[in-house]
Amino acid sequence: MDADTLRSYLTQARVETVNRLIPILYAQSNTSPDKYWMSFNKRKFMVVLSKTQRKTPTVIHKNFKISRIRSFYMRKVKFTQECFNEKLDAILGEFPMLDNLHPFLSSLMNVLYDKNHYKLALGQLNTARHLIDQVSKDYIRLMKFGDSLYRCKQLKRAAMGRMATVMRRQKDPLAYLEQVRQHIARLPSIDPTTRTMLICGYPNVGKSSFINKITRADVDVQPYAFTTKSLFVGHMDYKYLRWQVIDTPGILDHPLEEMNTIEMQSITAMAHLRSAILYFMDLSEQCGYTVEAQCKLFSSIKPLFANKPVSIVFNKIDVATFDDLTDEKKMAVQEVLADGDVKKLQLSCMSEEGIMDVRNQVCETLLAHRVDTKMRGSKINSVVNRIHVAQPKPRDDVERTAQVPDIVKQRKGYDKEDPQRKTLERDIEEANGGTGVYSVDLHKNYLLENDDWKKDTMPEFLNGHNVADFVDPDIEEKLEALEREEDKLEADGFYNSDEEILDSEEEETRSNAQAIREENNLIKLKSQDQTRKKKNAMMPRTRQTRTLDDMTADLTAKGIDASKIEDRAMSLAKAKGLVGKRKHDDVEMKEVDEDSEDAEGMEVDQDKASKKSKGVAAADKPLHPRAPKKNRAVEGLGSRANEEQAKKYRALASREPARHSKASESDRHIQTARPKWMMSGKRKMGTNDRHAYNDTHAHDDVQEYSSGSELGLDADEEDCQELRRLPREERLHAIDDMCDLYKSVDGFGENYKLVDKLGEGTFSAVYKAIDLKHHDYDNKYWFTKEQTDTRQLQHRDRKVYVALKRIYQTSCPLRIQNELELLHSLRRSKWVSTMISAFRHKDQVVAVMPYHPNNDFREYYRHVDYKTVKKYFKSLFKALRDVHRMDILHRDIKPANFLFSLQDQKGVLCDFGLAQYTLDDGWHGHCHHTQPSREHPHGQNKLAMKDIRSEKDTRAVERTADVVREADRRMNDPKLPVGYSTDEKRPIVRANRAGTRGFRAPEVLLKCQDQTTAIDMWSAGVILLSFLSRRFPFFNSNDDNEALVELTTIYGLKRMIKCGEIHNRSILSNIPHVQHGGKHLHLLLYQLNPFIFPRPPSAWHHGDVQGLRGDGKDNSETVMDTENTNIFALCNQPFEKEIGENLFNSFNQQFAKPWPELELYHAIDLCKKLMHLDCTKRLNAQQALMHPFLYGVGS
């Protein structure tokens, strides 16, 4: 079988199998396959997530140690990864490896399930397992740097979300493998190595009837053809051996590549099984096929019978026999039987004539064939010598008979009737009561020296020995001799050794070692005692008892002479008259040494003879030498009446804690951690939480923190709008960050008061604060004239707000320095949020900027009119003009970085964290556009300049063609792995890909090293496209490849290939809906947002729109409207019918008023010129301000 034939029937087999299996699976179910497998896959990973929640701890607190928080969430991520890994390993391990199976089983699975499809599905699951392992490894590495509970929790959520996404994408492989698993479970158990009879032939010739007669199989038999559609197996016994009989589906006489899956099962069995072939023929032609056709089929499949015993079985001989055939038919049959290896057999399944004869002859033939095959094998030599039986040969003509001794011949045979016969044990048993009464005496036949010993009691055996085996008559004498010998050896010094004699040095070493061991034991006991003391209540230092004897003993143990200290202490005690008085009282001493600043009390040992009762003077002494002389609790009250009033207030304040059984207001003890009312009863697993905060609690939390008591703020509710919008957990986390800023920067609270958190990014967070010392400085350099004239800045009592950008320590120092330098260089532009000041404390860097009131882009981009859009882009392009004049690339233009106020109709550009200066050190030369100049700010396209076009311009296309040819060669060569070559010979190219997903220009996606200010203009065009389509974000891709697919879907593959040539890149695509031209921007916007159009674009009479026809076609550019019906299909976004209708109705209510036709035409024209794929043809900021859409706005 050649490769082309094999490939063709594999494809046909896969289609037939899928079409046959799906009805079997869902015949009894109303659920569609797609929905069933979607729910199956969802259950698969929901079980893992539920198991993670049940098997891992669930209690964590933000005040725990950060290492404990990290390990808590690391354990959850690791446990989830292990569960996914375990389940995927189980799936991969249960399915067989085709390369390790018998050729018959491997080929059968290839026919039924398509080997390539089968391996691809298992490979996708294996890849998913590795992806989940990598996700777990990456996020556990990130969790090691998490600095709060919130961030660790978000990393855990992201990790589990990515794992669930990976598993959700395995819907199709799991569906296919589940179908394969169920079908494999229904396949019969076929042993390829045992004795097998294989029945084959045309349909309806009696194959199933024959297997039902000779085996216990119950195969369905019907009068029509193709009743058997798969392999059926029956078993029987012959000569005490196990046999299996296989009934194959019917085969038709056509080429191999035209056979379907049912017929290919028969071909597979005949090709790979070592069996006896029974080719059934119907001579009566009741099967519907002539005898000539049956003979022709036998000749076509005869190559599959090589090295196998073959028998042609004539069935239905009760209807027609071989002798009843015509001469032509006899000739056809005899040509088939001309080969001597083919046997002719006859039977009738109806009358059961010849069935057993056919079975026996086929079995004998197969047994002889198997023995002959083994005898011709190479392994028989190692077996034959073990089964050889020696046969004696005669050496002469003498007949040698058996020799019987005479005494044996004279011995009389046993006769039961002879009275002189030998008495047997049976006779003794019958004489003594018979069976059950007589007990056999086993001792009477013992062979001993004395017959009297036969009845003696013998000891029990242990391990094959009894007591007699261990008794020696001379054992006592031998033991005494051995002891005398030992005494003599000891007396002679035989056992003395010179090594045991120690000299003085070794004895000293051993004594020192013993002392060290004892000292270590003392240190260990002391340490255990100290540990035991730490667990007990600690005695205050002033209450500890210290005596002079303890001090002198401690100093003496350390080798210090304490005699002088002891004499000095005694002299001080005598000077104060304390010696000999109040022996049982503690004596307090004070050091009078001028050099000592710490006065410690010391108890002095007293004389036993001086024992007197306490005097009157002792009553005036305070209980403790450091006890206060006045009661501080009532010292500030003044009078007795005030003290009584204070007691009443204290009793009144203690009522509320007492009502809750609290000892005081600081009592946080929980009496019952698991109350019965909370833990009893049945509650289903779900999102219901009896402890969840409702709206009332959320409002109380807002009121709790809106006063700013914790932060020390005097802000109103309007000052902290962003903070009030956050969920409770995120709001508490934001307040913790604000408190941390106070603690991290010394003197921060003296200059600023935080009132709100405006936003947070990867490298920084922005806060709203009150500048407490604004009026102490000259602010004309950073406040604009309009801001200075406002009442808020003129009156010293008014609050002045600033924006504080806290740059995290994870940012690179060079990046922080670059951002501050750029903000300082743009301080003269009123369209850019400049920097007032910046300060650093240790690793904390804070930049101070003016606060600009603004509105959230997501709240107004759907309903603003065209005039507001003009004002928006007028401010944006003015900011970009000032930035680009300084040769600065912003690199992150997006609505979040442009603060626009609907009230003032103005905006400013902010966040220069990714900005950088344009390259001044030459051009890389990889791209086909020139370096920007004054005449051409974005450079020129060298591909459009015919005079300088060279061979270098086409090398990318030629290289791409080479790669495609190499991939085709590897696909056709079975020795090489399929796919593109992994031997990458191209040089590594590094390019700046900074920016936000959805706003990156094509040159950024294509990793162009020569990027210009045109990338900012592209991002501005994407914002305008969001305004016009009322869709944000407009591009929603996960990576750069998906972003290029979105652009190719809109612009067309032809234009994207030209764009790739400009940047020396090659673009290839095999996605069907991007193989054609792009989509006209007017039609695309009309499909997305028809409410801003006063009439369809086909009715317009403006410029390039005149080419549009009513059917959605464009004369100048190919537009495949049938394949790109809406942007949701273009950008791979699910958009179901019900959601689309609701969105259409909401749009109809919000945007009932369309834009003026001329304004809309100019807006779309500006968008097209800003989003030109060729960066050298895009408008710059100054040209955009002069565009008809913006010309004259605000002037």
Q: Distance between CA atoms of 497 and 503, rounded to whole angstroms? A: 14
Q: Distance between CA atoms of 426 and 300, rounded to whole angstroms? A: 76
Q: Distance between CA atoms of 1120 and 584, rounded to whole angstroms? A: 109
The continuous run of DSSP H or E covering 734 comes out as helix 728-744
Cross-strand pairs, 276: 197
Widest pairwise Cα distance in the chain: 154
- How many other CB atoms are found less than 10 A from the CB of residue 461? 10
Q: Which two tokens stand for residue 1106?
A: 């005149």
Q: Helix or strand or coil: residue 951?
A: helix
Q: Distance between CA atoms of 459 and 470, rounded to whole angstroms? A: 12
**Nearest by Cα to 1015 from 876, 892, 1166:** 892
**Nearest by Cα to 1126 from 1083, 1161, 1096, 1091:** 1083
Strand order across the beta sheet in which 342-346 lies: 232-238, 241-247, 195-201, 276-282, 310-315, 342-346
Cross-strand pairs, 845: 807, 840
- How many other CB atoms are found less than 10 A from the CB of residue 87? 18
Q: Which amino acid is at 243?
A: W
Q: Distance between CA atoms of 175 and 121, rounded to whole angstroms? A: 10
Q: Which two tokens stand for residue 1042?
A: 């998906």
Q: Which two tokens stand for residue 58?
A: 């669930």
Please answer whether residues 288 and 226 qualify as being in contact, where contact means their C-beta atoms are separated by less than 8 angstroms. no
Q: Distance between CA atoms of 1151 and 866, rounded to whole angstroms? A: 12
Torsion of CA 816, 821, 822, 828, to 10 degrees: 140
Phi, psi of 766 (to 5 degrees): -115, 130
Q: Distance between CA atoms of 1049 and 1073, rounded to whole angstroms? A: 7
Q: Distance between CA atoms of 726 and 737, rounded to whole angstroms? A: 14
Q: Which two tokens stand for residue 422?
A: 């030998």
Q: Cis omega before residue 57 (within 30°)?
A: no
Angle at 237 between CA 233 and CA 241, to 5 degrees: 105
Q: Which amino acid is at 394?
A: P
Distances (CA, A) of 478 to 471, 473, 482, 1012: 13, 10, 6, 112
Please answer whether residues 1124 and 1045 qualify as being in contact, where contact means their C-beta atoms are separated by less than 8 angstroms. no
Please answer whether residues 250 and 228 qualify as being in contact, where contact means their C-beta atoms are separated by less than 8 angstroms. yes
Catalytic residues: 892
- How many other CB atoms are found less than 10 A from the CB of residue 625? 11
Distance of CA 1007 to the CA centre of its chain: 29
The continuous run of DSSP H or E covering 525 comes out as helix 504-535
List, in order, residues 6 or more apart from 725 with CB less than 8 Å away.
none
For tokens 């593109």, name the residue.
Answer: 980
Q: Distance between CA atoms of 915 and 891, rounded to whole angstroms? A: 6
Please tell me the total number of residues recorded for the chain in this structure.
1195
Q: Which two tokens stand for residue 1072?
A: 């069907």
Q: Which two tokens stand for residue 932?
A: 């920007």
Q: Helix or strand or coil: residue 594?
A: coil
The burial class, CB within 10 Å (0-12 / 13-18 / 19+), for 803 is buried
